[in-house]
A and B are shown apart, each in its own frame.
Chain A
Amino acid sequence: MSLLQQIKSLIVKDLTLEWRSKYAINGVLLYVVSTVFVCYQAFKSVDTVIWNALFWIILLFASINAISRSFVQESPARQLYYYSIASPKSIILSKIIYNILLMVFLSAIAYLVYSLIFKNPVGDPLLYLLAVLLGSISFATVFTMVSGISSKTGNNSTIMAILSFPVIIPLLIVLIKLSHQALEGADRASSYGEIGVLLAINMITITISLLLFPYLWRD
């Protein structure tokens, strides 16, 4: 099979598995909604800076929870089977694409619930949605590779957090800045720099993941 076909069938496989159990998506959705509600109970009302920061923190933890299982949910024997029939490049690419889909869906729901419970003060909703979209793509690309690394270490959740937080912070800084500009409804031309940086970091992460994953899975 060619690379594209492999990727396509692996994504379809992941989606079907998810659709049959609906475990990950329901679990994470419930996680997001209850976190938003806990925050609402704690804060009641917030100003725009905290509104923005809180949203990204909720999304960060939800995405770590969603993605950290991407390499451990299936048994090692089945992983071995995939590795014997597909190339490592198509495995990592299919995981990244699947996680991007999952994260886009998840963050859209999170944004809806969040702006429903807290009042929505966004000045430029289109730009804010773009920031959320870029954010979920960045989370997916970075965390997929880190979860691949941490799945090899056994004791998963601590290592996942330790490894991924320093790597995601630079992205998070840019994302918070971009979404803050959207929140204030600032001139869109002033945000092009941040969008460029985010796209560039994502390109770099995907390239490095593609180069490094073949070394990672070969045990």
Chain B
Amino acid sequence: MRKIWWKILAASFVCISIVAGFIGPVPELPILNETIRNVYFHVPMWFAMITLYTISMVYSVKYLSSGKVEFDTIAVEAVNTGIVFCFLGLLTGMQWANITWGDPWPNDPKLNGSAIATLMYLAYLVLRNALEEEQKRAKISAVYNIFAFPIMVVLLYILPKLTDSLHPGSGGNSTFGDLDMDNYMRPVFYTAVAGWILTGVWICTLRYRIRLIENKRTQLS
């Protein structure tokens, strides 16, 4: 993971998507107008968040099967980073909703779902704080993490599809990609998604390595 090429790729992808996102042409659509550029920033946050939560779940499984403390550290740092991306996604979404739907928090299943998913992962962090003993903490929080993950997926990706939602791709609405994105927007969007996912993973590995150093120092003293 210490190779440098994908970090350069992440930084350049994010820069490209920001420059091309603000300068590039966008289709003129009613209601959306120029706010359609937010799709380059709002949507990648959620992709990065779900990637990090998936990483966390995978490393929790690995921890349970092997018992290595490093895996537990990766799992918790992935959740920490994922929560940051979740808040960024909520913030960009609220700005966007304020302009297009006229209300920063309309009663929408996807909004409520993501708020509840955030609660779930905050509960995971509280659970970790409630346990003193390290081994026990790692094991029990890993169990909760794996238990909560499929329910989070149901909440964010299956329930909104069943009900009426303002979001595209839910409740019979067509997806954003089919309807509104033209051929110029699509490559920029995919670049942004890849860039932000890589950035998220990068932040997560940095935090993980800082934690490793901290652990080593506390052990020596």
Q: Judge whether A173 and B140 touch: CB under 8 Å.
A: no
Q: Which residues of A contact B117 (CB under 8 A)?
A: 166
Given contacts A153-B127, A155-B130, A170-B154, whether A212 and B147 have CB atoms under 8 Å apart is yes
Interface bracket on A: 20 to 34
| Any A CB within 8 A of the CB of B18 | no
| Any B CB within 8 A of the CB of A149 | yes
| Any A CB within 8 A of the CB of B162 | yes
Which of A149, A174, A197 makes the CB contact (< 8 A) with B143?
A149
**C-alpha spacing A196/B109, complex, angstroms:** 19
**C-alpha spacing A219/B131, complex, angstroms:** 13
| Any B CB within 8 A of the CB of A193 | yes
**C-alpha spacing A177/B160, complex, angstroms:** 13
Count of inter-chain pairs, beta carbons less than 8 A: 77
Given contacts A159-B127, A166-B120, A197-B158, whether A152 and B136 have CB atoms under 8 Å apart is yes
**C-alpha spacing A194/B154, complex, angstroms:** 13
| Any B CB within 8 A of the CB of A113 | no
Interface residues in A116-144 (C-beta closer than 8 Å to B): none
Identity of the chain A residue whose Cβ is nearest the Cβ of B123 in the assembled complex: A162
State the main secondary structure of chain A at its contact with B: helix
Q: Which residues of A contact B154 (CB under 8 A)?
A: 170, 197, 201, 204
Q: Which residues of B contact A204 (CB under 8 A)?
A: 150-151, 154
Identity of the chain B residue whose Cβ is nearest the Cβ of A170 in the assembled complex: B155
Given contacts A193-B162, A201-B151, whether A169 and B136 have CB atoms under 8 Å apart is no
| Any A CB within 8 A of the CB of B84 | no
State the main secondary structure of chain B at its contact with A: helix
Q: Judge whether B140 and A149 touch: CB under 8 Å.
A: yes
Q: Judge whether A167 and B143 touch: CB under 8 Å.
A: no
Q: Judge whether A169 and B131 touch: CB under 8 Å.
A: no
Q: Judge whether A170 and B119 touch: CB under 8 Å.
A: no
Given contacts A162-B123, A197-B158, A197-B162, whether A167 and B140 have CB atoms under 8 Å apart is no
| Any A CB within 8 A of the CB of B116 | yes
Q: Which residues of A contact B150 (CB under 8 A)?
A: 204, 208
**C-alpha spacing A169/B113, complex, angstroms:** 9
**C-alpha spacing A174/B163, complex, angstroms:** 10
| Any A CB within 8 A of the CB of B146 | yes
Contact with A along B110-147 (1 / 0, CB 8 A): 00010011011001001100110000100110111011
CB distance from A160 to the nearest CB of B (A): 11
Q: Judge whether A208 and B140 touch: CB under 8 Å.
A: no
Q: Which residues of A contact B147 (CB under 8 A)?
A: 145-146, 149, 167, 205, 208-209, 212
Q: Judge whether A215 and B143 touch: CB under 8 Å.
A: yes
**C-alpha spacing A194/B158, complex, angstroms:** 11
Q: Which residues of B contact A209 (CB under 8 A)?
A: 147
Contact with B along A205-219 (1 / 0, CB 8 A): 100110010011001
Contact with B along A154-178 (1 / 0, CB 8 A): 1100010011011101100110010
Q: Which residues of A contact B131 (CB under 8 A)?
A: 152-153
Interface residues in B129-186 (C-beta closer than 8 Å to A): 130-131, 136, 139-140, 142-144, 146-148, 150-151, 154-155, 158-159, 162-163
**C-alpha spacing A209/B119, complex, angstroms:** 21
**C-alpha spacing A140/B163, complex, angstroms:** 25
Identity of the chain B residue whose Cβ is nearest the Cβ of A204 in the assembled complex: B150
Q: Which residues of B contact A205 (CB under 8 A)?
A: 147, 151
Given contacts A159-B130, A215-B139, whether A169 and B144 have CB atoms under 8 Å apart is no
| Any A CB within 8 A of the CB of B64 | yes
CB distance from B35 to the nearest CB of A (A): 29
Given contacts A155-B130, A162-B126, A163-B123, whether A169 and B116 have CB atoms under 8 Å apart is yes
CB distance from A85 to the nearest CB of B (A): 23
**C-alpha spacing A49/B163, complex, angstroms:** 18
Q: Judge whether B140 and A170 touch: CB under 8 Å.
A: no
> Besides the contacts A167-B151, A208-B150, what 12 more A-B pairs have beta carbons closer than 8 Å?
A149-B127, A149-B140, A159-B130, A162-B123, A162-B127, A166-B117, A169-B116, A170-B116, A201-B154, A212-B64, A212-B146, A215-B143
